[in-house]
Amino acid sequence: MSDLGWVVPAAIALLGVALLVAAIAIAVRLSRRSPRARAAASRSVSDSADALLRLDDAVNELDLAFRAADAVDVIDEPTELRRARAAALRARDRAFAEVSRLQDDTGLAARRRDEARRLGTQLDGQLERVARTRRQLDEWARTHRTGPELLAAARRRRDEVLETTGDPEQLLAVLRDRFAPEDRDDAETAGRAASDALRDADLALQRAASEPDGRDLFDATAALARAERQVRAVEDAHRIALQAAENAAAEVTAARAEIEAATEVATLRPTEAAPDAAEHLRAAARDLEAAAAVATQRPRRAIAIVARVRERRDQTLSDAMTPRQRLEAARAALPGTLACARAALAVADARDSDAPIADRLQLERARRQLAAARAATDAEQALAHARAAWHAVARPI
């Protein structure tokens, strides 16, 4: 037995070492999940978003510079520069997806911090490549383009914009005749912005006529791009308003029947519905009456009210609906919700391109969710994506 006397002290020592290692591991794990680690991760994600903002601005300017240099879809467009431009656009799109993923990530803080730092470094590198492409483009333009040629190309683009977009005032006149101001505010704002942009383009072209090698050609190109975007917004608002006018009355009628059916379900299965289901459904019925009262003058608002009433119905009934009822409800709600999402996205697209990065990220989220809604084959999944797209950019009604 005396030969085994060392076993107990050795076992105690090994146990102590094991406990120490375990304590260190726990401390390290806790430190990687601590409030300080989460704050560091948030700072790193914010830094990567700031880098994305710089990259987005640089890529947008690069795209305009290609147009100002008459280097897009032309016979002598340099292959290397075209590929560099395409690569910059793809890198920017990927970066939006990556920053959005990091912002939504609720996992290990230390991992999130490290990934954000790596992404920020990658974005800074991409920004340098964009700057190098811009310098190469400027050198190419000095060799292959003259000031008068660029001025003539800019004037052709202006004429093409006017020819392809037409006069938004005619569309606005239709909206003024039929709908309340609140249902056409977005179109009126876009129409004024389009007129301002065209005026800015004309002034820049006048300045460029006396000094075509200056920045005025770039400013004219940027103004024309704004004008195109705003005229598209007017066209979208006109189309959306007319479609809403065609469908508003039928949507309100269908939603009334759905709320009546939902009230029956809540009465039959009170334990499976929300505790205040009856009050929520009565409020939904009142909202539908308000929508019916304004459906002629404000059809877009009526469609939006119907979509929100249906969403509230789904949240209220929860498990009280059978799978078949949920599927039928999703199929009924999907067209109107998609229309609301498309309308909100069209308005957001027309806003100032100098928006903060948070707004740009929300816009990209909405685009991805809307694309997922269109691609989904299951009505419930499509509806969930459409609602997410709508909520990402919608304003209160």
pLDDT tens for each residue of 151-161: 999 999 999 98
- What's residue 376's pLDDT? 96
Angle, alpha carbons 184-190-192 (nearest 5°): 105
- Segment 347-370 shows an average pLDDT of 90
The pLDDT score that the predictor gives to residue 216 is 92
Closest CA to 208 of 162, 154, 159, 157: 154
Q: How confident is the model at residue 374 (pLDDT cuts 50, 70, 90)?
A: very high
CA distances from 40 to 50, 107, 117, 198, 360 (A): 15, 14, 10, 46, 23
| Angle, alpha carbons 322-327-330 (nearest 5°) | 125
pLDDT at 319 over 90: no
Q: pLDDT confidence of 1, banded at 50, 70, 90?
A: very low
Distances (CA, A) of 252 to 54, 259, 311, 332, 393: 45, 10, 14, 12, 24
Which amino acid makes up residue 323?
P
Average pLDDT of the chain?
89
pLDDT for residue 3? 56
What gap in Å lies between CA 73 and CA 252, rounded to an integer? 48
**Rounded to 5 degrees, what are φ and ψ at 112?**
-60, -40
Model pLDDT, residue 30:
47
From 150, 135, 273, select the one nearest 204 (Cα to Cα): 150
Q: What is the pLDDT of residues 116-166, one digit of tens each?
A: 999 999 999 999 999 999 999 999 999 999 989 999 999 999 999 888 887
End-to-end CA distance of the chain: 86
Looking at the chain, list the stretches that DSSP marks H as alpha helix, in order from N- to C-terminal side: 7-33, 35-68, 79-104, 109-144, 147-165, 168-178, 185-210, 216-268, 277-294, 299-317, 323-349, 357-375, 379-393
pLDDT of residue 73: 81
Q: Which residue has the higher pLDDT, 389 or 278?
A: 389
pLDDT tens across 31-49, in order? 445 778 888 889 999 999 9
What are 185-223's pLDDT values in tens digits?
999 999 999 999 999 999 999 999 887 667 899 999 999
CA atoms in the 13 A half-sphere facing the CB of 352 = 4
| High-pLDDT (> 90) share of the chain, % | 72
For residue 23, the model assigns a pLDDT of 54
Q: Quote the CA–CA distance of 111 and 343 in Å, as a whole number.
A: 38
Structure tokens given for 277: 């289901």
Could you tell me the pTM of the whole model? 0.84
- CA 74 from centroid of its chain's CA atoms: 31
Q: Which two tokens stand for residue 130?
A: 């964009």
- Whole-number pLDDT of residue 5: 58
| Tokens matching residue 23 | 């304590």
d(CA 26, CA 7): 28
Task: Report whether pLDDT(19) > 70.
Answer: no
